[in-house]
Amino acid sequence: MPGAQRTPRVLAVDAGGTMTDTFIVDETGEFVVGKAQSTPEDEAEGLLSSAVDALRQWDTTPAQAFPQIVSGVFSGTAMLNRLLTRSGLNVGVIVTAGHEDILQMERGIQTYLGYSYADRLHVATHHHNEPLVPRNQVLGVRGRIDLMGAEALPLREGEAREAAQQLLDAGVDAICVCLLYAYRNPAHELRVGEILAEEKAARGLNGDLPVFLSSEFYPSRREFPRLNSTVIEAYAAEPSRATLRRVRERTAAYGAGFELRVMAAHGGTVSIDSKQLATTLVSGPIGGVIGAGWLAERLGARNVICTDIGGTSFDIGLITDGRHELDATPDVARFLLSSPNVLIDSVGAGTGSYVRFDPFARRPEVSPDSAGARIGVCWPEGGVDTVTVTDLNLILGRLNPDYFLGGDIDLDVERARREVARQLAEPLNLGVEAAAAGILELFESSLRNEATGRVLGKGYSPVDYTLLCYGGGGPLHVAGYTEGVPYAEVLVPAWAAGFSAFGCACADFELRLDRTVDLPLLPVHPPEQRVAMAGLIEATWAALRESVAAEFAKSGFGEDDLRFTHAVRMQYYGQLIDIELDSPVSTLQTQENLEALISAFNAAYRSTYARSAPSPELGYLVTQAIVRGSVDVEKPRLPTFDEVPGTPPLKGGREVWWRDGFVWTDVYEMDQVLPGHAIQGPAVIEAPATTFAIPPGRQAWLDRHQIFHLETR
Amino acid sequence: MATIDVVRGGERERHGIGWSGLTLQKMLADSERRFAETGFYAGLDRLELKECDPIGYEKIFSRVRGGLVSARETALNISASPIVRELGELCFALYTPEGDSVALSTGIIVHVHTMSSAIKYMVRNGWEDNPRIRPGDIFANNQPTIGGVHNADVQTFVPIFWEDELIAWAGGVCHVMDIGAATPGGAPVGPTTRYEDGIDLTCTKIGEEDTIAAWHWKRCELMSRSPKSYILDERTRLAGCHMIRDTVERLILDEGVGRVKTFMREAIEDGRRGFKARVRAMTVPGRYRSPGFLDVTFADKETLPARARRDFLMHGAYEARIGEDGHFTVDFDGSSAWGWHSMNATPSGVTGLMWIQFTQTLIFDDKVNDGAHFATTVVAPEGTWANLDKDECSTSGAWGILFPAYSGYPRSLARALQSRGFIEEVVGSFSTPGNVMQGGGIDQYGQMSGFMHFEVGAQGQGAKYVLDGLDYGAAPFNPEGDMGDAEMWELMAPLLYLGRRVKPNTGGLGRHRGGSSFESAYLVWGTENYELQNILTGAVFSSPGLFGGYPAATSYVHTIYGADLLDRAGRGEAYPVRDGDFEAPEFLEIEGDRVHRQDALTMLRAVRTGDVYVSVMKGAGGIGDPLLRSVEAVQRDLDEGHLLPRFSESVYGISDRDAVRRRRLESVRSVSDWWAEQRERVLAQDLIDAVRVMYAESMRLSPRWAAEFRGFWDLPEDFEFDILTPTVRAPASVPGKVTPAEACAEYLAGARAHQPPGDAAQPGPAHSGGVTAETLGDLLDERLGRRQVKAIQSGPKDLDRFDKWVAVLQERVHYDDPIVLPFGEGLNIVRQRQDGELVIRTDAGADLCRWDENWKMHAALRVRDTTESMRELYPAMAHPDPEWMELREFHCPLSGHLLEVEAVPPGHPVVHEYLPDITGFYEGWLGRELPR
């Protein structure tokens, strides 16, 4: 269908570190994927080039297409880069007096966050992060709220004023305030906020210098993650707002009239004008899980395990009963955060992972560190001299040296073979291919354990789950890491390499706000009293609904357009970890409704920690009240084509080492596989951005939705 | 089914539940016999599975370890204790039926072997028959004489059966918040006998059919002051053990039971070999000595029984011997006696701490399991604090002595690593965590509760050779240090944080600074009836320096009862939120009934709303001569609050370093002069009782130590300290005398470093990674960024590092004589060209002595044994009373380079820290001649 007759409806962009992927869907559900080099200095450039690349496939242009698009989602890395390169705003911080060293001391856990098993034990490697705010710009103010929310020590307003003046004199760009127990009672923080406003006004700085109160942005228990989130909001998110506005302006210049939204860590998309923008710090990987959830719903799968292999890591997400899990105390870039993230376990094992022989233990080892974009010894220009997983794939014939990234990069198979022989095969006393194949098996078996471990850890069995594989490196290893595991199905979307961008397009326009309430419901409380006490949750929900509505009003939505979900975080009284559940009822004014919430919690607890007995005898603590508000947005439709029987045309063939020897293997081009086609292993399906390996004994067929089903014959 | 009764020939024959129908006792006896006969675990001279199917073997290992790590990560969410949930004081492991660990999770690794001891206890004592071991059973132990450090570490065991055969055990352990001892907390200070140590579980069967018995729940509820937390911790351990059982069952289904059993045996033997290979590759055979000390001040503690009310110094006589094919021996011979206090340990606890040290240093990236146990020996002589000869002793505060005693481990290992050139791994002594604040009473919720504050989980880490020590982020008992959020701790006890600030001058000063620690100040809040105590606020140095770096500061107690802080705040006045400077604490301005002094331990004392309690934590020892610290680094210390300004001059001499060196050389004396003078003091027994009783105990318990003591000071063969040692059985020491030279010669004559038979000269070849000589030079000269250093630390270790290291050093020294063995910062063992002698030479060219003598006896000495001289380095309240401990500084006589600082009580022999088996090193381990 020529471009002029198409109606593009949804645009989703994943601007990654190296490539920007664009995913555009039309009203029939057909889609195109575009790719372009990322442009970190001005992400709008990469977005446009990538959109041009995508739309070219439909013979159209942004100027023609953008006015027709009704929904646009952007996911970038600018904010994360600002954090990683420590190039954010100059921030000042006001904390409770006596805690001025908090950012310098950080939590001990941040000195080894993200480390491998070995390095967590290996204490010599632990080190502190460079603080986001210099020590002399963290000032204290006396005054204390206690854990019940009562004032223990009065706020010394004069100190707040001095602190404000000192920070303004220092020329900071933004000021954060995080006082102990402000989530419980924000009175002191609000007063400090007023004083800051007065001092700013005295200098004619009205509105120019943003102030971030922790109680307003991230009102949750634990001061350190709360402070981190608040500081990141000022340090990295605030300047990114300008970047995002520039992206919006550039698309508007092409006639785009849609609201540009950003993927947030809780799994919904938010407006770029959203207050809590730091929740969009990591979005690409989240997009993958959301896309998987969307797909699962359409395919009728309740439980899905999402797996994504990139150059450096293997990411696992879980969708159970149609819901992804949330991590309430997540960490990003070695910072503990206060706002929940879609739970993704990242294991340091990717296609660029180094493979070494440990001379002391005399064993091969796939290391947690990786060559990343430098590929392996097979690419001399990359300067890598340690063998990587990609080198192993190459010498076994599973990768095509002449078609890596579509042939843009030449790989040196002989060099790889020489190095594998020298570094691994000889010390292991094995043949070169046997060593390479064995180590890949070890690699894939550890991925297999990680994936099944996630399922089993929840008390489920793999037969209850559909495994979905995406990411550039996923299709190459999916057969290996699903071998022998009885997953309900193993699915590989044909657009696996652009799946994260696709996922962003699938997300709801949804804002999530939460607030700590810490309401105990104990065995000693009679039922009537419990219901009266639950009024606190009601009231908090109402306040949160109001804030959500106010945020949506910025995007022109009225209350009638909004759909609200009421949720809580809850635990057995005395425990430290709570779990999140959507409330089955939206009001708690009756005993039945409150009981319904408690039963839902007990059920959710059992499914989270299947093997441990719930402890209802302790009573309950509702730690947080949560409201999610969403509005309808246009989403992709699942493409549907007619299935044609047969096999795709053969692209060629080569010798590929599978289990214990070379086998002549057919090679296909992914573009030429049509819905209905089935391919028997051994086979390799190649695309510029990915390679799908089908070993002997397995087969894959493409369904009418462009999804491969990997099966055992 | 525990035992299968089989009718055979009319007689009932009982079959064991172990592998192939053996009893567990038979399995253990067979395993021990085979090890004794062959030197291989279970007699495995070949690792067939690993050799024939190296990949399959690794796959099983990664599955087992993955299962353990994920069991821990999942289970800890169930706990109600921040000690477990936030600070990760939890560990799981898998054991063979006879109790040898196969693999473990992260966490408090100390317990891998303590749980092994407990399983072996059950095996040896016939638990198989009574109370029987059956599928679904649950056992619990926390009894340190059976296996453990102190009662607060509670262990849970679940047997894993497969078709009537006990295949393995899952074990889990965590540190509980309150153990129901005589005083509240997890490491109570008050107990003087074990009858006051709290809940006692002696490998008790607490449940059947996967269910914990109701009576056990009831007992825990009645006996712990924090029953909720205790109960949820019990559930945490059980849930984790059950997850591990599932992992093993699935593994058996996939791999077959035979292969899993073979794997379990081979993994341990593999661990043993890997450990020894690592020791041979990274250390130097030899004898290493580094004693540590703990002060106990009970004389004024009126609530204690009369027999316990005395002051004394405890001696942790640490000696490591590395030799043979990589065998590692830790020997506490010469240590003080056990006593009527809680700082006693058991061999199980002593072994446990060695485990933590190994897994954080030598074997972090290898198969961590009981293989290392079979490659090591721990000598804990009976009657010392390390091995009670009476079961009635309290061990609830065992860590108190274990920490300073084991401060010898990092210092000794550092010498070996420095010799081999693995400088990126050199970390000085850890801080001895304290103050460990504990208490209990009616809390802010109006309920009785007990509490132990675990922000001690983030103290200073020892200085590194190539970096400063990690500040406020490390704990010797758990590699994953953390201090938790204030808003979490305030849920647990009626204490409001007034502040949590970096404490200046806590870290030991040096070329690299030991990690700093912090102080927390609390306002007691929401209670009229609570009690608090201090432990490990020691007043003697417990984290010594290395290579010329200084020990970390001591600590102090500061509590204000009936403080007027709330009144001041109410009037709108400012109030302090920290003490800050040791010497000028800000809380002095708050009025009230003040206790402000150096005191290693305080008893419970009642507090109520408005009282102020300051908790001062400890930093770690420094490395290297402070005059070598860059001026920029000193400035950074000042900016970040690690250093009080006045010490930038008195210690670091930032304005004129040459002047400081000149002053040093003016104030030093020869060791022989000092020795002669001190000899008279020892002969006259002119020492405080607390120190004399320590020497008397060491001498009465160890004839060897007594003989060496007399030999060092050239005392009469029957010299004896004239003081009572009520907990030592021997009334007097055995006469005898051994000179230092004789002791060295005896050690070297018996040293037999060699390659193991059947093993090639070196571990397998390594072709990738490792550092080049150029990078090593950059690392030494500190031209690398933090990221690059981390990459070298985490990367593979190069096998030819030693040769590169010697070459790098040779290029930097001003002499041509070949370096034979690097011997610490600024010292090398050198072959003198003119006469072929091996001597210890300073970088400035002073030949101090022969290689096998104690070079310190030939250095230029300055002793700081007065308060005035200590104050040049430490603020008041941050250093010991010189009657308890003195500082001895050993310099190069030519340059004034400070080479070593020794922190010991007066009268202690000069420590001969490092006696390398230099011939064994070259000929036995490197497989080549000593350089000519």
A517: phi then psi, degrees, rounded to nearest 5: -115, -30
- Cα of B160 to nearest chain A Cα, Å: 16
Residues in chain B: 932
The 3 state secondary structure assigned to B473-510 is CEECCECCCCCCCHHHHHHHCCEEEEEEEEECCCCCCC
Q: What is the pLDDT of residue A670?
A: 93
Q: Are A191 and A213 in contact (CB under 8 A)?
A: no
Average pLDDT over residues B239-248: 91
Q: Is A128 in contact with B58 (Cβ distance < 8 A)?
A: no
Per-residue pLDDT reduced to its tens digit, B463-494: 999 999 999 999 998 888 999 999 999 988 99
- Cα of A108 to nearest chain B Cα, Å: 4
Per-residue pLDDT reduced to its tens digit, B498-555: 999 999 999 999 999 999 999 999 999 999 999 999 999 999 999 999 999 999 999 9
Q: Is A142 in contact with B368 (Cβ distance < 8 A)?
A: no
Residue with tokens 């708690």: A588
Residue in chain B nearest A227 by alpha carbon? B485
Pairing of strands A620-631, A579-582: unpaired
- Which residues in chain B are closer than 8 Å to A524, comparing Cβ atoms? none
Of A361, A484, A573, the CB nearest to B367: A361
- Which residues in chain A are closer than 8 Å to B93, comparing Cβ atoms? none
Interface probe for A, chosen from B217, B485, B586, B590 (most Cβ of A below 10 Å), is B485
- For residue B185, the Cα-to-chain-centroid distance in whole angstroms is 21
Per mean pLDDT, which of A203-212, A578-587, B690-699 is the most reliable? B690-699
Q: Is B473 in contact with A126 (Cβ distance < 8 A)?
A: yes
Residue B9 pLDDT class (50, 70, 90 cuts): very low
- Cα of A446 to nearest chain B Cα, Å: 7
Token pair for B602:
């305080």
Q: What is the pLDDT of residue B63?
A: 86
Per-residue pLDDT reduced to its tens digit, A487-539: 999 999 998 878 888 999 899 899 999 888 989 898 888 988 999 999 999 99
- Which residues in chain B are closer than 8 Å to A357, comparing Cβ atoms? 764-768
Interface probe for A, chosen from B49, B57, B62, B429 (most Cβ of A below 10 Å), is B62
Counting residues of chain A whose pLDDT is more than 90, the rounded percentage is: 59
Interface probe for A, chosen from B92, B527, B794 (most Cβ of A below 10 Å), is B794
**Mean pLDDT, chain B, whole residue set:** 92
Residue B363 pLDDT class (50, 70, 90 cuts): confident
Q: What is the pLDDT of residue A77?
A: 83
Average pLDDT over residues B878-882: 98
- Which residues in chain B are closer than 8 Å to A127, comparing Cβ atoms? 467, 470, 786, 790
- Cα of B125 to nearest chain A Cα, Å: 31
Residue B156 pLDDT class (50, 70, 90 cuts): very high
- Cα of B175 to nearest chain A Cα, Å: 16
Interface probe for B, chosen from A229, A611, A615, A624 (most Cβ of B below 10 Å), is A611
Lowest mean pLDDT among A40-44, A449-453, A646-650, B336-340: A40-44
- Which residues in chain B are closer than 8 Å to A148, comparing Cβ atoms? 444
CA distance B388 to A287: 61
Q: Is B484 in contact with A107 (Cβ distance < 8 A)?
A: yes
Of B75, B80, B794, the CB nearest to A574: B80
Token pair for A541:
């929900």
Q: What pTM value is reported for the model?
A: 0.92
Q: Is A97 in contact with B767 (Cβ distance < 8 A)?
A: no
DSSP SS3 for B426: coil
Of B106, B238, B764, the CB nearest to A357: B764
CA distance A392 to B273: 29
- Which residues in chain A are closer than 8 Å to B464, comparing Cβ atoms? 124
Q: What is the pLDDT of residue B295?
A: 97
Q: Is A147 in contact with B491 (Cβ distance < 8 A)?
A: yes
- Which residues in chain B are closer than 8 Å to A615, comparing Cβ atoms? 231-232, 235
* Of B825, B817, B842, B844, the residue nearest B780 (C-alpha): B825
Residue in chain A nearest B766 by alpha carbon? A359
pLDDT(B108) > 70: no
- Cα of A142 to nearest chain B Cα, Å: 8
For chains A and B, count residue pairs whose Cβ atoms are closer than 8 Å.
Answer: 282
Q: What is the pLDDT of residue A4?
A: 55
Q: Are A411 and A394 in contact (CB under 8 A)?
A: yes
Residue in chain A nearest B491 by alpha carbon? A147
pLDDT(B249) > 50: yes
Q: Is B228 in contact with A438 (Cβ distance < 8 A)?
A: no
CA distance B712 to B710: 6
DSSP SS3 for A501: helix
Token pair for B585:
């604490």
Residue in chain B nearest A368 by alpha carbon? B794
Helix, strand, coil in percent for chain B, rounding step 5: 35, 20, 45
Interface probe for B, chosen from A188, A608, A612, A623 (most Cβ of B below 10 Å), is A612
- Within B640-751, where are the H helices? 647-650, 657-667, 671-683, 689-701, 703-713, 740-750
CA distance B63 to A488: 22
Q: What is the pLDDT of residue A660?
A: 85
Q: What is the pLDDT of residue B54?
A: 84
Average pLDDT over residues B754-772: 63
Q: What is the pLDDT of residue B333?
A: 98
Q: What is the pLDDT of residue B89?
A: 76
Residue in chain B nearest A179 by alpha carbon? B487
- Which residues in chain A are closer than 8 Å to B444, comparing Cβ atoms? 147-148
Residue in chain A nearest B767 by alpha carbon? A423
Of B59, B69, B490, the CB nearest to A117: B69
- Which residues in chain A are closer than 8 Å to B82, comparing Cβ atoms? 576
Counting residues of chain B whose pLDDT is more than 90, the rounded percentage is: 79
CA distance B468 to B55: 40
- Which residues in chain B are closer than 8 Å to A607, comparing Cβ atoms? none
- Cα of B292 to nearest chain A Cα, Å: 22
Residue A1 pLDDT class (50, 70, 90 cuts): very low
- Cα of B74 to nearest chain A Cα, Å: 7
Specify which residues A331 forms β-bridges with.
A336
* Of B625, B469, B617, B468, the residue nearest B542 (C-alpha): B617
Residue in chain B nearest A612 by alpha carbon? B239
Q: What is the pLDDT of residue B2?
A: 39
